[in-house]
A = this chain, B = another copy of it.
């Protein structure tokens, strides 16, 4: 039941870096956390409200700028302390749900061509992710080696590279196997 709310801490963490609006949070999440995290508007706004009620974030409203007023949120001391505590807690693993592997496992009931097509699709996605990660690695290394987040960015990128490389390797192995025994 408890199912700790990971979105709360994701948002809190982003606000620890700099004050932002819900809209900004969404964009930052997409651009910078995109390969390992996701947040949608429909969830961000209610969570932000909750965080505010709890006193973990402050809210400042920018009025008079056409369209709805912008709500800028910033982390409070209480929020920062909650964030620090969170890092101390063990991570409860998510129950796995890998649909590609489910299909492969049940592959006996599939048309061989369908199976191959799915793996090829997946290989394409992962190969282009790999190229993207490597490009960003180069870029960050050229531009911002002294940023306080540098080490952490590089580590998450490296995780992406490792995962994508092994995914591509597995796809190649699987495709070879399935095409050999076609």
Binding site for B on A (CB under 8 A): 6, 9-10, 13-14, 16-17, 32-33, 35-38, 80, 83-84, 86-88, 90-91, 93-111, 114-115, 118, 121-122, 125, 148-149, 151-156, 158-159, 162-163, 165-167, 169-170, 173-174, 177-178, 181
Contacts and interface: CB of A to CB of B under 8 A. Distances in A.
A148 B108 contact: yes
Q: Interface residues of A: mostly helix, strand, loop or mixed?
A: helix
Contact of A108 (B32, B115, B149, B163): B149
Nearest to A180: B151
Contacts of A122: 91
Nearest to A112: B87
Most buried by B among A35, A105, A153, A170: A105
Contact of A87 (B84, B91, B103): B103
A10 B165 contact: no
Given A38-B97, A88-B114, A121-B90, A102 B158 contact: no
Chain copies in the assembly? 2
Contacts of A114: 87-88
Contacts of A125: 93
A38 B87 contact: no
Contacts of A33: 102, 105
A96 B98 CA distance: 11
Contacts of A16: 106, 109
B87 A109 contact: yes
Contact of A170 (B98, B151, B158): B158
B13 A102 contact: yes
A32 to B, nearest CB: 8
A107 to B, nearest CB: 4
A88 B102 contact: no
